[in-house]
Amino acid sequence: MWGKTLVVAPHQDDESLGCGGIIYLLTQLKMPVHVVFVSDGSMSHPNSAKFPSQTLVVLREHEAVKALAILGVDQENITFLRLKDSRLPDGGAPDFDAAVRVLAPVLSGFEPATILCPWQRDPHKDHRATWQIVDQAIAKHTDTVRRFEYFVWLWERAKPGDLPDVDEGLIWKVNIEKAKELKKKAISAHISQTTSLIDDDPEGFTLSDEVLAHFDTDFEIIFERI
């Protein structure tokens, strides 16, 4: 039994990509789910004149609220920490402890039985930093939580050392067939990341069809840390 579940996402779309099916299944079982976004999402299109930083932040938060509504999570159960996208501090950074302190009230206020966060060695540095922030917050504020980790960029960018070792924990394959179409709708709600809506930044980020194909399945793979 998962019980109250806190989902921690580095960016607005990681929740839908990595564990959108699980989120939907939990909400349908009437399990309380709270989603916290760590970064502000402002650096996906850093050179856009049509969508300058603060406009993009507002847009991405609106997309996240819409996506999570599809998955059964109300806006009151969403928290945006708004740390700087692409600059999330890891354990060696001077502002790391401050980031842990920002997350701490969410933990103490929601009191989750289960936490679902990015995989420890996900190839994206913001995802790794998010894991470290969550890990330290757990160490400081709770010792009874069950921990799962979802994969986003492991499928696309992993080096051998990024992969889970056999003695690190358990790998679960979760059947999300009933949630598959709603997960796809939730991903599509992140229009700034899945379409050419922002067309004035040649360095801007958009999820390619090849990347999205990794998440168009009847299952989600998660890692349980034991």
**Which domains does the chain show, CATH number per domain?**
5-225 (3.40.50.10320)
d(CA 50, CA 70) in angstroms, rounded, equals 27
d(CA 184, CA 178) in angstroms, rounded, equals 12
Q: What share of the chain is helix, strand, coil (3-state, %, to 5)?
A: 40, 20, 40
Give residue 1's identity as a one-letter amino acid code.
M
Residue 183 token pair: 């997960």
pLDDT band at residue 177, thresholds of 50, 70 and 90? very high
Taking each helix axis as running N to C, give the angle between helix 180-188 and helix 53-70, from 0 to 180 degrees, rounded to the nearest 10.
Answer: 160
As a whole number, mean pLDDT of residues 188-216 equals 97
Q: What percent of the chain has pLDDT over 90?
A: 95
Q: What percent of the chain has pLDDT over 70?
A: 100
Q: In the predicted model, what is the mean pLDDT of the chain?
A: 97
d(CA 22, CA 25) in angstroms, rounded, equals 5
pLDDT of residue 181: 98
Q: How many CB atoms lie within 10 A of CB 106?
A: 18
pLDDT band at residue 143, thresholds of 50, 70 and 90? confident
pTM assigned to the model? 0.97
